[in-house]
A and B are shown apart, each in its own frame.
Chain A
């Protein structure tokens, strides 16, 4: 009896330790609200977001949206809240919770929430809904789709990759096979835009470049990402661009192990993925923070106009590529000039970047 009791106690202790450890680890990823400094401006507008199943701490678009909320809290004095979804069934009730609790603006994150946003928009006509990466056929007056021209930032990334793969002076990991690789998460419109823009950009400066094009079928399969990148590198690719969420982090490891360069996605992954600086050439970013902040600001100032899809491209400051960071000295002036020329071409409309495979 005594030994049984001891066993139970030991098990409980282990359980408690494991659990505390788990919380400790998880805690690093959770954004922490900074205490108010006391002199922030105030408004009675309250803004919230419902994450997709990736949750906060995904280092891509859920966190990017939250950055926008944090900025609105800081600069506009808006009360903010983020509800995380553990499963898809949480989307609807999470929106209900926030709407019933009196939030004025609710962001729903990710294309998978499109249907839910369409249903909930008319149910809460007094709440403004911002659908991140969501395109609405007939949005109500309180609904706005917030989309990004991923293809434009990918185009710039393609220009960098297309020239980098020819430039043996840039890095000794560059080979003479003239091959680069694209790795997509799931074959959905935003990812297709990344793919097509990347290909168009690379070909615009290097018509003979071969692009190895792979899809993982998942945004959270790190092992699959690594496997795909390894196979692409084995075939001769020396620059790998992954638009695949967490899956892409596996490709970073593959590049580090097999000696290739990497281009990140959504945010400046030089910062979001620690220790990736040795392969991180640049990142194709979309500024979720700006889109979210501008929407909240419009509501606060009473200038919000809904019933439309708003698209953020290079010209609107919504997408761009990140600095070269550790490669700042290695990247040639030729590449910098080509990127700047491409950026200007896109802004003044000389170049229209294709957004679908049909347009490529």
Chain B
């Protein structure tokens, strides 16, 4: 092992840098492979990425659009990342998101006429609570009888989605041709950011982005400096050792999955309050599932989630300009996203194989 001459800070910095470099390199390789694909498809990759950059960061409005699309991914990315840190795969963030959206659509109408700051706080708290509640039953099943959360949270996603589908076509449907709820009154919506930051030029970016960034910092702090975060990480790292060390694994599992559910619920709340201002069947473009990719790319680091969400947001925001100016089909975005996920996942896979190999050697030695 390392001798006494090695200075600890330098080692830490090197490891940190390496951790940081892996996702960056993955993204770079993904862009490189995508370029080859775009070239093979008969388009100009340089023009394509230049147009995409222009469409995502080329001006105030474009930056705002990137922020808009990064917002739900920050919440779902944080949700999935927090789960992973506690050793839980919350694949059902989409369902928790739908329930958060449902509560916002319902409360937003019920709270009509009340002061805006009060509504915003109430709707955010309620959406987080219902997201947590939607994760609670799977969490309980996991803690008490060991039912795997991948199955149960996924099943709750179906229940949530179809519940929303029924409500917007039935009891909560507003008058008109389209199955959707009534439009929220202005006091139940999130303010748009250009009202404070004029350079964002009428873009649709809303307060949810700021909430997401602050929440990411908060979750980072929780994981690093609180006993709750410590317990979550300990259980995720090694449940048996944690149990021996006096941490209640069932209780920690329930808390962690509920926190994850609350974070995912907020994605639904902010989409309804900030973007669509109402609820309908297809208000989420699979943000709960893209959140898994975001968490993966961020290596489950809450700060990393901010960056990963902005990257995915930029890809989504730049697609239109890429189509218009470079005439590359918008679906190329999905290929780039898939490649990023693939490369990041493959890296994890390789690392796992290496670690597994190392452990076996130790076992043989013992």
Binding site for B on A (CB under 8 A): 4, 7-8, 11-12, 15-16, 19-20, 22-23, 26-27, 30, 53, 55-56, 81, 83-90, 92-94, 97-98, 101, 111-112, 114-115, 135, 186-189, 217
Give 1 or 0 for each of B318-343: 1 = CB within 8 Å of chain A CB.
01110110000111011100110011
Residue of A nearest to B281 (CB): A186
Whether the Cβ atoms of A111 and B177 lie closer than 8 Å is yes
Of B35-43, B108-116, B135-143, B148-156, the one with at least 4 CB within 8 A of chain A: B35-43
Say whether, besides A4-B350, A15-B342, A86-B285, A187 and B320 are in contact (CB < 8 Å). Answer: no
A89 to B284: give the CA distance in the assembly, Å.
9
Give 1 or 0 for each of B275-307: 1 = CB within 8 Å of chain A CB.
110000111010000000000000000000000
Interface of A is mostly: helix
A residues in contact with B276, CB < 8 Å: 88
Indicate if B15 sits at the interface (CB-CB under 8 A).
no
A residues in contact with B331, CB < 8 Å: 26, 55, 84, 86
A83 to B333: give the CA distance in the assembly, Å.
14
A residues in contact with B343, CB < 8 Å: 11, 15
Whether the Cβ atoms of B178 and A27 lie closer than 8 Å is no
Interface size class of B (residues with CB under 8 A): 35 or more
A residues in contact with B254, CB < 8 Å: none
Whether the Cβ atoms of A15 and B41 lie closer than 8 Å is no
A/B interface sample: 10 pairs, CB < 8 A: A7-B350, A19-B34, A56-B329, A86-B316, A86-B319, A88-B283, A90-B316, A186-B281, A187-B179, A217-B162
- Taking CB atoms and an 8 Å cut-off, the chain B residues in 26-47 that contact chain A are 29, 33-34, 36-37, 40-41
Binding site for A on B (CB under 8 A): 29, 33-34, 36-37, 40-41, 65, 68-69, 162, 165, 169, 177-179, 204, 275-276, 281-283, 285, 316-317, 319-321, 323-324, 329-331, 333-335, 338-339, 342-343, 346, 350, 354
A178 to B310: give the CA distance in the assembly, Å.
58
Whether the Cβ atoms of A8 and B350 lie closer than 8 Å is yes
Of A4, A30, A93, A112, the residue contacting B178 (CB under 8 A) is A112
Whether the Cβ atoms of B179 and A16 lie closer than 8 Å is no
Knowing that A53-B285, A87-B316 touch, tell me 6 more A-B residue pairs with CB under 8 angstroms. Answer: A4-B350, A15-B342, A19-B33, A86-B319, A97-B321, A112-B282
A90 to B321: give the CA distance in the assembly, Å.
11
A30 to chain B, nearest CB (A): 6
Whether the Cβ atoms of B346 and A188 lie closer than 8 Å is no
Whether the Cβ atoms of B177 and A89 lie closer than 8 Å is no
Whether the Cβ atoms of B330 and A55 lie closer than 8 Å is yes
Whether the Cβ atoms of B33 and A83 lie closer than 8 Å is no
Say whether, besides A19-B37, A30-B329, A187-B179, A217 and B320 are in contact (CB < 8 Å). Answer: no
Whether the Cβ atoms of B324 and A101 lie closer than 8 Å is yes
In this complex, the member of A22, A89, A98, A111 whose beta carbon has the largest number of chain B beta carbons within 10 angstroms is: A89
Residue of B nearest to A81 (CB): B324
Whether the Cβ atoms of A11 and B333 lie closer than 8 Å is no
Of B204, B319, B329, B354, the residue contacting A92 (CB under 8 A) is B204
A86 to B339: give the CA distance in the assembly, Å.
17
Residue of A nearest to B282 (CB): A88
Of B41, B178, B323, the residue contacting A23 (CB under 8 A) is B41
In this complex, the member of A30, A93, A97, A98 whose beta carbon has the largest number of chain B beta carbons within 10 angstroms is: A93
Whether the Cβ atoms of A90 and B41 lie closer than 8 Å is no
Whether the Cβ atoms of B320 and A89 lie closer than 8 Å is no
A135 to B177: give the CA distance in the assembly, Å.
9
Whether the Cβ atoms of A186 and B179 lie closer than 8 Å is yes
Say whether, besides A84-B323, A86-B285, A98-B324, A20 and B40 are in contact (CB < 8 Å). Answer: yes
